Chain A
Amino acid sequence: MWQAIKSVLAAFLGVQKDSRRREDFASNRPGIFIAAGLLVGLVFVVLVALVAVLAAR
């Protein structure tokens, strides 16, 4: 799972090594990446929202 989260984080920045990608796709478990994607997406939303709330003070 941690591996998947790291890959998703890399995706958010748009930077990924070829070798890592090879490993990711070798795992053949798309579910875990989708889950990680949604999780990181959610954390991202909460984080940006938090920054916005703090900045609005």
Chain B
Amino acid sequence: MAFHLPPKPTPQHSTATAGGVAEPGHAKPHWLMRWLLTTNHKEIGSLYLIFSLTMFFIGGIFALVVRAELFQPGLQLVRPEFFNQMTTMHGLIMVFGAIMPAFVGLANWMVPLQIGAPDMALPRLNNFSFWLLPVAFGLLLSTLLMPGGGPNFGWTFYAPLSTTYAPPSTTFFILSLHIAGISSILGAINIIATILNLRAPGMRMMDMPLFVWTWLITAFLLIAVMPVLAGVITMMLMDINFGTSFFNAAGGGDPVLFQHLFWFFGHPEVYIMILPAFGIVSAIIPTFSRKRLFGYASMVYATAAIALLSFLVWAHHMFVVGLPLVAELFFMYTTMLIAVPTGVKIFNWVATMFRGSISFEPPMLFALAFVVQFTVGGFSGLMLAISPADFQYHDTYFVVAHFHYVLVPGALFAILAGAYYWLPKWTGHYPHLRLSQWHFWLSVIGVNLTFFPMHFSGLAGMPRRIPDYALQFADFNMAASLGAFLFGASQLLFVLVIIKCVRGGEKAPAKAWEGAEDLEWSVPSPAPLHTFETPPEFHPDRH
């Protein structure tokens, strides 16, 4: 299926222009070489999306191993050592291998189309940053087969569990994270360079669609924090292999320092995974409400504010490590304050729908589910911000419920919404309506059945990352496991939808959705391989 995406160039659009990217078609290269060496933003976008879908299923299988073991109390299927590797790999793969590359893929496809650019600013770099990913994750997955097993210290890899007490494969884990980090950084540089320099004549910053805005801010966050992650894992590497003691108390280091550094990266990372989602939803809701986005300016400013504040809240992940009272209060206050700009975004989406003309196509369904369920995740986030209460919530399933609500029906649903929204542009066909609806409803039911009971098991006292639990948590866990399998299975429908959509289906016109306004809808569906080689005239009529 991969090889039908995107369509071959159509003659009327591959007009040769000076300085254009390498023309395929002279001598037709082997398809493998074509995909290996492509510098086309649409092809690379597709590669990213296919890669992230693959990783999503691999990470999902790991999650199902975890849920299968947790179906009943007692150890049935896996040993605790392997269980810990599964939870760790699930987290790492989903964060770095599924969600982030999916957003980069969407950016590759849509940012040039939305700003009227012919391609990304640095096409060859673009190819390189993609192909780093399979290397990184191939390496990461291979650690599972190494003696002593793969990483087993959680995706947050707290020292000294991840240094002095780590399996021998940890050096490979660090290497793979380095490679994935370089890929993200290069991708971010490319996106910034594209947005700042390749906008269509007449399009000012303030005319850019919100998806472009949120990605610009996300890219800056990536530039700011990925090097910090690289620094942290380099220190780990040195602690493990060169006898330094950054995080080792025996040599005068401090394990808590690791957590400060990690979360200085980690909290902005959380926003890296949600800001582009805000952008997608801010495109979809106005389209299907047939009404301009309410408070565009506020949205842009709120995004910037959230990004800035994200550097000031990191220690709310560390409320129980024994911070001094003043630090505890500081981080509680800043964390509570970040709820304000986030709330503004939700109010704005609701106000966009108010007095609109609303229809419920699949992208809108996913966007609406995003708004509701992301807000649920936001509420539990607000509860977690209350530091004294966090002494009870911390490291329980309540936290697991919270961040999964933000990341699965949050970030992931936004990605799915984006996919349904732009599939007509990518393939020229509408996705199969019935199947899409089935996919949506089964996903919603599965997600809530999986993660809602986790709130209760957490409050009742179940710690996270345990392969076996006390009997009073059995009901919640059984429900969550059933939900997880339902959710996992229903994602196969998504694959089916994509395959059908690539192969055929109802033809989509250039402007596939009645209320859609941005530049991408001015090029034919499916989008030809080369678009906007002559920059479009941009008329800021809407903004």
Contact = CB atoms under 8 A, between A and B. Distances in A.
Direct contact of A and B (CB under 8 A): yes
A1 interface: no
Given A13-B340, A14-B345, A16-B297, A52 B305 contact: no
B472 interface: no
A4 B295 CA distance: 19
B333 A11 contact: no
Interface stretch (B96-104, B322-330, B366-374): B322-330
B38 to A, nearest CB: 34
Interface string A1-29: 00000010011111111101110110000
Interface in A24-50: 24-25, 37, 41, 44-45, 48-49
B302 interface: yes
B344 interface: yes
B304 interface: yes
Interface residues of B, number: 29
A52 B301 contact: no
Interface string B326-340: 110110011001001
Contacts of A44: 312
Contacts of A7: 301
A21 B343 CA distance: 20
B521 interface: no
A53 to B, nearest CB: 6
Dominant SS among interface residues on chain B: helix
A10 to B, nearest CB: 6
A55 B301 contact: no
A50 B269 CA distance: 27
B206 A22 contact: yes
Interface residues of A, number: 26
A37 B308 contact: yes
Nearest to B331: A52
A56 B297 contact: no
Contacts of A48: 312, 330, 333-334, 337
B301 A41 contact: no
Residue among B305, B308, B309, B327 with max Cβ neighbours from chain A (10 Å): B305
A45 to B, nearest CB: 6
Interface in B328-387: 329-330, 333-334, 337, 340-341, 343-345
A9 B190 CA distance: 30
Interface in B287-333: 295-302, 304-305, 308-309, 312, 325-327, 329-330, 333
A18 B297 contact: yes
Contact of B329 (A11, A16, A52): A52
Nearest to B300: A21
Given A14-B340, A14-B345, A48-B334, A21 B297 contact: yes
A18 B296 CA distance: 7
B205 interface: yes
Contact of A13 (B296, B308, B333, B344): B344
A25 B205 contact: yes
Given A52-B326, A52-B329, A56-B326, A14 B205 contact: no
Contacts of A55: 329
Interface in B187-209: 204-206
A11 B330 contact: no
Contact of A56 (B298, B305, B325, B343): B325
B302 A14 contact: yes
27 contacts: A11-B301, A11-B302, A13-B305, A13-B344, A14-B298, A14-B340, A14-B341, A14-B345, A15-B298, A16-B295, A16-B297, A16-B298, A16-B300, A18-B296, A21-B297, A21-B300, A22-B206, A25-B204, A41-B312, A48-B334, A51-B333, A52-B326, A52-B329, A52-B330, A52-B333, A56-B325, A56-B326
Given A15-B295, A21-B301, 17 more contacts: A10-B301, A11-B304, A13-B340, A13-B344, A14-B343, A14-B344, A15-B344, A18-B296, A18-B297, A21-B206, A25-B204, A25-B205, A37-B304, A44-B312, A45-B312, A53-B326, A55-B329
Interface of A: 7, 10-18, 20-22, 24-25, 37, 41, 44-45, 48-49, 51-53, 55-56
Interface of B: 204-206, 295-302, 304-305, 308-309, 312, 325-327, 329-330, 333-334, 337, 340-341, 343-345
10 tightest A-B contacts by CB?
A14-B302, A14-B344, A11-B301, A21-B297, A14-B341, A52-B329, A25-B206, A16-B297, A52-B330, A11-B305
